[in-house]
Amino acid sequence: MKFIHLTDTHVIGEGELYGQDPAARLRAAVASINAEHGDADFVVLTGDMTHWGDTAAYARFSREIKELDIPLHLLVGNHDDTAAFTEAFPEIPRDENGFVQSGFDTPFGRFLLLDTKDPETHAGAYCSARQAWLDRELEQTNGSVILFMHHPPIKTGIVSMDRIMLQDAEALYDVIAPHKARIRHLFFGHVHRTIFGNWRGISYSCMRGLNHQVALELDGAADRIAANFEPPAYGVVTLSDDQVTVHVHDFSDGSEKFFL
């Protein structure tokens, strides 16, 4: 099975963001997915669809993302507005408390999409109500599980981003710990960097954003986020019974292909 991990598109209603057009970047990503990976089963977009969370931005995002030829699953991030998002995408499932959380089954396990948005801050939250939903999902699932969320539950070493990571990471871990042997991988966004690692025995990966990236400053200031324009990318993920493989696709790379 193959699917696409896309994240942090940061679309705005019109114009440019930091001198770039995020809608144009999204359009290029969609065109690349359709042309190069149209055989993928679906796309999972792990939040921050828009930058300001306004109605015009969701309308523009919707116009671009609907050009995808394959199914789409959406999560909310700290830059999203849940009410405006729901108005633009009323078909997206929500849990019994209104959080944008859902799950679906695949031939290689159940995929669980978590809502880590805190409306009061850019940091992530996972309250007791959301924890109860996840606990119930895990208890009712017998096979493998793959988790998706916007905020990372781990420190990356980029101090400015670690300040706004998931604040309820310990509570989240307490929920998933009894099921850890069945959790095959954790996908997240938010950090705007390609990152791979392992969190208490759970492998994870993060993809770059489309409009702008967070600079790799492991000794940077805590009170400001350094950014740059490293190439945008999305993940191409393949699953089998005994393997999860995550490829990073720099879809805007125009270098010439040759054979070794």
Render pLDDT for 173-202 as a digit per residue (tens, 0 to 9). 999 999 999 999 999 999 999 999 999 999
Task: Classify residue 111: in a domain, yes or no.
Answer: yes
Rounded distance, CA 150 to CA 45, Å? 9
What distance lies between CA 34 and its chain's CA centroid?
Answer: 19
Taking the CA of residue 99 as centre, how many other CA atoms within 13 Å lie in the half-sphere pointing to its CB? 24
The predicted pLDDT at position 159 comes to 96
- The percentage of the chain sitting over the pLDDT mark of 90, rounded to a whole number, equals 98
Domains in the chain: how many in total? Answer: 1
Task: List Cβ neighbours of 256 (8 Å cut-off, separation of 6 or more).
Answer: none
Task: Classify residue 223: in a domain, yes or no.
Answer: yes
pLDDT band at 220 (very low <50, low <70, confident <90, very high): confident
Task: Classify residue 198: in a domain, yes or no.
Answer: yes
pLDDT band at 247 (very low <50, low <70, confident <90, very high): very high
Task: List Cβ neighbours of 47 (8 Å cut-off, separation of 6 or more).
Answer: 7, 8, 75, 76, 77, 78, 79, 80, 116, 117, 149, 150, 189, 190
Task: Classify residue 88: in a domain, yes or no.
Answer: yes
* 68: containing domain: 2-249
Task: Classify residue 230: in a domain, yes or no.
Answer: yes
Task: Report the number of secondary-structure helices (H) and strands (E) in the chain.
Answer: 6, 13
R_g over Cα of the chain: 17
Task: Classify residue 39: in a domain, yes or no.
Answer: yes
pTM above 0.75, yes or no: yes
Task: Classify residue 259: in a domain, yes or no.
Answer: no
Beta bridge partners of 239: 244
* Coil, strand or helix at 171: helix
Rounded distance, CA 25 to CA 253, Å? 13
Task: Classify residue 255: in a domain, yes or no.
Answer: no
Give the largest CA-CA distance in the chain: 55
pLDDT tens, residue by residue, 32-71: 999 999 999 999 999 999 999 999 999 999 999 999 999 9
Q: What is the mean pLDDT of the chain?
A: 97
Beta bridge partners of 244: 239
What distance lies between CA 145 and its chain's CA centroid?
Answer: 16
Q: CATH number of the domain that 168 lies in?
A: 3.60.21.10
238: left (phi over 0), alpha (psi -120 to 50) or beta: beta
